[in-house]
């Protein structure tokens, strides 16, 4: 999974997490990464379809997500375009190409007061929770997903899958932190170029914390769980609350014309 460096609180840490090459596997339909994301989208599509059978509009909040990510379901989203709206929450606002479908909002996904007066039909996160910090941060992130979404979908890499997905080194996550920091200072690892500065390297290592299924079950106690498999190994973990909790969706729906009325939501055009 591509590193979510934008979720690292320290600005310096955000600036040092640089891809190592021009090829972006998440834009390449022939790549293994793209195919995995495309396969996962069937779960998301089924949940959105269930929402649209119940309601006129599906309001989705994506914690730590990007507009690009949703290209995996572009045909489906276009087919239901008037009835779907997705709010992207990140520590900074990103330019939006498709303002009829997306809004970009500045916010901390671990803040217990994040959009405290709002409720969405679906809370979504893909490969994000492992980047938000230590376990207390993850607990607040998970609580926000359960609070904000009547349904939720969460995906994260499996700690026990032998290939660490960000640094692309077998067993990298099992090494002592000091060893991982030293390796990143000296060599190219996965998505990262060498980071000679100790503090920079440590900041990146500390913000890639993989979770086990046991930890995910603790964080999302009311979810259904699935593994994503590759070659007989459990690659990723999915936690999904498919049935809605009984809370009223707070009107009005966030649509493009409504955005200036909502604090912290900013419209930008690429």
Confidence class of residue 15 from pLDDT cuts 50, 70 and 90?
Answer: very low
Angle between helices 198-206 and 177-186 (to 10 degrees): 120
SS3 120: strand
pLDDT at 252 over 60: no
| Residue 107 token pair | 């916010």
| Angle at CA of residue 97, ends 91 and 103, nearest 5° | 45
Nearest to 145 by CA among 177, 167, 163, 121: 121
Q: Are 152 and 206 in contact (CB under 8 A)?
A: no
**pTM, rounded to two decimals:** 0.82
pLDDT at 33 over 80: no
Share of the chain above pLDDT 70, in %: 77
For residue 83, the Cα-to-chain-centroid distance in whole angstroms is 22
- Which residue matches tokens 């992207």? 88
For 15-24, 49-58, 200-209, 223-232, which range has the lowest pLDDT when averaged over its residues? 15-24
10 Å Cβ neighbour count for 113?
Answer: 9
Spatial neighbors of 232 by CB under 8 A, at least 6 apart, are none
pLDDT at 7 over 70: no
pLDDT in tens, 158-205: 999 999 999 999 999 999 999 999 999 999 999 899 999 999 999 999
pLDDT in tens, 94-140: 999 999 999 999 999 999 999 999 999 999 999 999 999 999 999 99
Q: Are 129 and 138 in contact (CB under 8 A)?
A: yes
pLDDT of residue 19: 46
Please give the torsion angle defined by the CA atoms of residues 4, 9, 14 and 17, in that order, rounded to the nearest 10 degrees.
-50
| Residue 105 token pair | 């909002």
């Amino acid at each position: 999974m591509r590193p979510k460096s934008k979720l690292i609180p320290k600005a310096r840490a955000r600036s040092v997490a640089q891809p190592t090459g021009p090829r972006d596997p998440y834009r390449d339909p022939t790549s293994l990464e793209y195919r995995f994301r495309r396969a996962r989208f069937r779960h998301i599509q089924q949940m959105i379809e269930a929402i649209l059978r119940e309601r006129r509009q599906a309001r989705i909040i994506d914690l730590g997500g990007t507009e690009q990510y949703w290209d995996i379901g572009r045909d489906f989203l276009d087919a239901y375009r008037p009835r779907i709206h997705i709010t992207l929450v990140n520590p900074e606002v990103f330019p939006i190409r498709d303002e009829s479908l997306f809004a970009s909002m500045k916010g901390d996904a671990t803040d217990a007061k994040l959009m405290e007066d709002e409720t969405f039909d679906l809370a979504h996160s893909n490969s994000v929770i492992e980047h938000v910090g230590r376990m207390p941060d993850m607990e607040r992130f998970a609580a926000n997903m359960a609070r904000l979404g009547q349904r939720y979908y969460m995906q994260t890499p499996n700690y026990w899958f032998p290939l660490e997905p960000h640094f692309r080194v077998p067993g990298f996550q099992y090494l002592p932190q000091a060893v991982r920091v030293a390796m990143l200072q000296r060599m190219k690892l996965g998505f990262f170029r060498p980071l000679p500065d100790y503090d920079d390297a440590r900041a990146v290592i500390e913000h890639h914390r993989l979770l086990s299924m046991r930890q995910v079950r603790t964080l999302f106690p009311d979810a259904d769980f699935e593994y994503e498999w590759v070659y007989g190994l459990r690659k990723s973990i999915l936690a999904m609350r498919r049935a809605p909790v009984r809370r009223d969706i707070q009107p009005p729906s966030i649509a493009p014309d409504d955005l200036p009325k909502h604090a912290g939501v900013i419209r930008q055009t690429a």
